Each structure stands twice: as structure tokens, then as C-alpha cells.
């Protein structure tokens, strides 16, 4: 039987709804920001009409929605459905925290355009009181760093049997430009280049002859020993910091031989401990006869 798990994320402006929505997306939720409450029944009907048997859906509904007062009515309507399991997550924070966050971001509170910031916060808190009363869960983010809020959401709404952290090894060629989406980058152009061996020139690091050639030098083995040791320190610390993915760039001249072989090696080294991916950005640019 089809089922929709609907999580309504609401609460005080500046309390961390964006962090929560991004975290829910990381654990597989379909996420929608700033949805008018009256669209909830239509949205769930559309989802129930798809082929998916189970859908985890998260929607943010807050004061940006013009018909926010109708959320009570929509909540009770959805509770009566046998196909929609609806819960409300309310994010809160004390006045001091909210004022500090608005000062830091220099954004305008939605209710303080014609009044001071604290008055706007108090007005919002009063308007949201009925929603707080029906909330299934409440999280106070006062003094809570974003990474800890993310960990709370993943622990509560994620599948604890699944690790959502992943490591991607990306090979590339410096002559084609450095990638902009890597977290760390290593240059392997100091290694002997198979490009200058005629029979390997049209091959890539995915070919065993090229792979064995790159791995056959003492400097390669020394480099990999040191690099693996460094990554064994770096990767868990990136994960601890709250990142859901780390992209490690490995670059050579053309991105077809040395960087490809090294990326493949590293991916195999870490696949038992982490969810690893390997991508070769420039391998399709290899010259082939």
C-alpha cells in the first residue's frame, strides 16, 4: 500500500529551517520550501498517484506563506488520511539567539520591516503559538551549531543503518583547468608520464598496462603511503565537522593516465570504510586513433 510520510517543518524565522531542510534532503527526503498550506492535500494526492510505494516528504511552511493561518485545518485534514502520516517539527530559539543571527546575516525579519527587530520576533512568536501547541516535536536551536543540528536531524529522521557520508575521488587534467568543486586537491604530475610511451598514449589509467606502469615506481608507492595516511586523518575529521560529502581531486597534465590510476587506487583503498565514488572529469578527452 502506498504511503506518504509528511514532515511539516515550521517555527521561528532564524531558528534553522534551512539547515533542517538540507539535512532532510541528504537523508532522502523530497523537500519543498515555502509551500502554501492549502496546497498540501493536492501535493499528497499527486505523490500518491506516482509509482513510488513510500515517499518521505518534508515541507517548510512559515510566515512567508500568505495563508499560514490555514495550517491547522490542513494538519487535521491530513491526519484523517489513511495514506499520509503527518508530523510537525517546530524549530525554536530564544530571543537573544534570534537577534544575534539576524544581526550577523544582516537580513530583515519578515515582521520587522515597520518595527524594530525584537518586536517582530515577539509578534512572530505570538502568531506561531497555536502551531507550537500541535507540534509533534520541538527543537530549541539556541546555542546549537549548524553541524550539531544537522546531526540531530539525521539521527532522528535518517536510516541509522545507512551512512550518508561519501567520498568522491575526481581525476582531472591541469591543462583543462582545475575543478571548482573539490575540497582538497593533489598534484601527481611529478610521476613518470605514460603519455610518452607510444603504445600507452591512446590508453587511460583504466587500462591495466597504464595502471601497472604508474604503480610500478618507487616514488608512486611512497607517495601513496603518505597520501593514504593523510586521508585517513582528514576524511573522518571532515565527516565529524558535518560534511555529507568530500571531493578529493587528483590532477595530472591531461587527466587521462596518472590521475586516473591514482584515483582508482584510492577509491579501492577506502571503499571498505566509506561510500566511495570515482569520477574522471577529462578522461573522455583522451586522443584515440
| CATH code of the domain in which 147 resides | 3.40.50.300
Residues 136 and 187 in one domain: no
Residues 108 and 125 in one domain: yes
- Whether the Cβ atoms of residue 119 and residue 40 lie closer than 8 Å to each other: no
Residues 234 and 281 in one domain: yes
Residues 178 and 149 in one domain: no
Residues 22 and 151 in one domain: yes
Residues 122 and 173 in one domain: no
Residues 22 and 130 in one domain: yes
Which pLDDT value is given to residue 288? 44
How many Å apart are CA 33 and CA 45, to the nearest integer? Answer: 18
Q: In this predicted model, what pLDDT tens digit does every residue of 189-229 receive, in sequence order?
A: 999 999 999 999 999 999 999 999 999 999 999 999 999 99
* DSSP line for 20-65: HHHHHHHTT-EEESS--GGGHHHHHHHHHTSS-SEEEEEEE--TTS
Q: In this predicted model, what pLDDT tens digit does every residue of 100-121 receive, in sequence order?
A: 888 887 677 777 666 688 888 8
Q: In this predicted model, what pLDDT tens digit does every residue of 25-47 receive, in sequence order?
A: 988 899 999 888 888 888 888 88
Residues 18 and 138 in one domain: yes
Residues 260 and 219 in one domain: yes
Q: 10 pLDDT exceeds 70?
A: yes
Q: In this predicted model, what pLDDT tens digit does every residue of 65-101 receive, in sequence order?
A: 656 667 667 667 666 766 788 889 999 999 999 888 8
Which pLDDT value is given to residue 162? 55
pLDDT band, residue 15 (cuts 50/70/90): very high
> Residue 201 corresponds to which cell in the numbers above?
598514449
Residues 65 and 193 in one domain: no
Q: Which of 125, 157, 189 is the last residue before a domain boundary?
A: 157
Q: 160 pLDDT exceeds 80?
A: no
Q: Which domain holds residue 252?
A: 166-285
Residues 140 and 194 in one domain: no
Residues 146 and 108 in one domain: yes
Amino acid at each position: 500500500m502506498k504511503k506518504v510520510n509528511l514532515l511539516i517543518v515550521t517555527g521561528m524565522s532564524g531558528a534553522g529551517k534551512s539547515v533542517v531542510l538540507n539535512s532532510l534532503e541528504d537523508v532522502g527526503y523530497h523537500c519543498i520550501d515555502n509551500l502554501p498550506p492549502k496546497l498540501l492535500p493536492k501535493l499528497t494526492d499527486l505523490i500518491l498517484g506516482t509509482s513510488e510505494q513510500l515517499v518521505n516528504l518534508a515541507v517548510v511552511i512559515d510566515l512567508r506563506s500568505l495563508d499560514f493561518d490555514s495550517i491547522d485545518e490542513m494538519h487535521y485534514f491530513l491526519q484523517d488520511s489513511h495514506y499520509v502520516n503527518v508530523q510537525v517539527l517546530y524549530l525554536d530559539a530564544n530571543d537573544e539567539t534570534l537577534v544575534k543571527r539576524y544581526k550577523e546575516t544582516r537580513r530583515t525579519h519578515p515582521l520587522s520591516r515597520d518595527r524594530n527587530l525584537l518586536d517582530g520576533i515577539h509578534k512572530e512568536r505570538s502568531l506561531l503559538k497555536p502551531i507550537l501547541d500541535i507540534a509533534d516535536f520541538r527543537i530549541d536551536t539556541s546555542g546549537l551549531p549548524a553541524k550539531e543540528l544537522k546531526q540531530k536531524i539525521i539521527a532522528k529522521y535518517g536510516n541509522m543503518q545507512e551512512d550518508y557520508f561519501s567520498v568522491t575521488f575526481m581525476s582531472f587534467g591541469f591543462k583543462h583547468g582545475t575543478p571548482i568543486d573539490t575540497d582538497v586537491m593533489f598534484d601527481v604530475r611529478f610521476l613518470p608520464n605514460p603519455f610518452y610511451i607510444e603504445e600507452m598514449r591512446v590508453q587511460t589509467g583504466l587500462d591495466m598496462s597504464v595502471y601497472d606502469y604508474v604503480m610500478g615506481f618507487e616514488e608512486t608507492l611512497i607517495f601513496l603511503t603518505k597520501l593514504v595516511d593523510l586521508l585517513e586523518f582528514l576524511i573522518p575529521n571532515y565527516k565529524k565537522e558535518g560534511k555529507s560529502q568530500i571531493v578529493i581531486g587528483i590532477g595530472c597534465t591531461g587527466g587521462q593516465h596518472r590521475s586516473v590510476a591514482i584515483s582508482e587506487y584510492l577509491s579501492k583503498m577506502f571503499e571498505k570504510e566509506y561510500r566511495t565514488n570515482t569520477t574522471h572529469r577529462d578522461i573522455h578527452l583522451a586522443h584515440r586513433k
